[in-house]
Amino acid sequence: MPRTRMDELFALAEEHDGLLTSKEARAAGIQDSVLVRLVQRGRLERMTRGVYRIAHYPADRLAQYREAVLWAKASQGPEDIALSHETALLLYGISDANPSRVNLTVPASARLRRKCPDWVAIHRANLSPEDIGQHEGLPVTTVRRSIMDVLSATHRTDVARQSISDALREGLLNNAEASSLRRSITRKPSEDARCRNQLNASKIH
């Protein structure tokens, strides 16, 4: 029995728990007009621009994170992107933080061609391959990078220290890594204060 367009889309979507992008569909020879018709017929759901879900496909707890990653890639965005900051800590299970938006880091020079959804917070930084890992099939900044990013963005040393303790308990960090991070946290406030003093001095002059 010949494969239908829905069969082809279903095969694409299986990798992302029911989600697919129009870019992936075009690469498979399925035009945007076909996707539009399938949305009208209730076979597909349009999630954000360029991202679709197979209708009635059971969503899992990571669906929103997968959608954020696919949105960035559907925007002709870069491949070296990762879920980061508080979102990464939440995925690792080493923080009680429940961010209101999904945090996503993209390269500093990335040009995203689609409007960012309100529920996604974009951070710009050039991540090295060593900064990005995989967690349940999702690109996520490493535990160390995630903790330092949260510290830089919020200056919450209490959150950083708690995340280190939780990561150590869960086996995501060893003792040496945890000690190194704690030393970095101790140095960070003084470094921030020095930068602020230098900035204030330059304004005076």
Residue 189 is predicted with a pLDDT of 53
pLDDT tens-digit profile of 144-156? 999 999 999 998 8
Residue 131 confidence class, pLDDT cut points 50, 70, 90: very high
Averaged over 6-20, what is the pLDDT? 83
- pTM of this prediction? 0.72
Neighbours of 180 (CB within 10 A): 14
What distance in Å separates the CA atoms of residue 122 and residue 101, rounded to the nearest whole number?
Answer: 10
Segment 156-193, tens digit of pLDDT? 899 999 999 999 999 999 999 999 999 988 876 545 54
Mean pLDDT along residues 92-115: 87
Question: How far is the C-alpha of 21 from the C-alpha of 161, rounded, in Å?
Answer: 38
Instruction: List, in order of start, the domains of the chain with CATH numbers.
Output: 5-54 (no CATH), 63-204 (3.30.460)
